[in-house]
Structure 1
Amino acid sequence: MKHAERLTDRRLERAILHLLERRGPAATICPSDAARAVYEGDDDGWRALMEPSRRAARRLVAAGEVEITQAGRPVEPETARGPIRIRRAR
């Protein structure tokens, strides 16, 4: 993995945690919220960060920091397909 990719990965992880800190304890965010927070342009280039954002969320699940949910229920990160939400680990 390239140095720039590792930096982006860490920025996405920090963005996820920061966005969750700023919301209520039960609140969720979308991976796109973190992608938009990290992307430095003013166009839709943040979309290229969607899969890296989902990977960052999976790493944070492994670290015990967050949960990935679908329809309000925690799901296994490896099996989640389609839209997901991220919330603080309970």
Structure 2
Amino acid sequence: MDAGADEPTTAGDLTETDRRLEATILELLGRRAAASTICPSDAARAIGGDEWRDLMEPARRAARRLVAAEEVDITQGGEVVDPSTARGPIRIRRRR
């Protein structure tokens, strides 16, 4: 999958891939226990196939949008972190 193949048509628009990543994050979380987490790579792999690595940053951005929408939290070491400053591996969980 070419992560840049569906560029937004105007500034601020979400691409089809952006929308799919958000939906996939929520779907994957919905299949797990309430306290479970996923990695952004889980969503990237689900829609990206062999090219999932190209979707890692878009998946992290999708998670940040879902935090802003108050649907999920981003955690590191089991603690909720500010997604704008989180560096390194993150986990995503449903908002409690």
Do they fold alike, i.e. is TM over 0.5? yes
| Greater percentage in helix | 1
Gaps of 5+ in 2: 1-6
Identical aligned pairs, as a percentage? 70
RMSD: 1.2
CA apart distance, 1:2: 2.3
Counterpart for residue 19 of structure 2: 10
Segments ≥4 residues shifted beyond 6 Å: none
Gaps of 5+ in 1: none
2:49 maps to 1:37: no
Instruction: Give TM-score scaled by structure 1 length.
Output: 0.91
Count of matched residue positions in the alignment of Structure 1 and Structure 2: 86
* Aligned equivalents of 2:67, 2:8: Cα separation in 1: 23
Counterpart for residue 77 of structure 1: 83
CA apart distance, 1:38: 1.1
Instruction: Give TM-score scaled by structure 2 length.
Output: 0.86
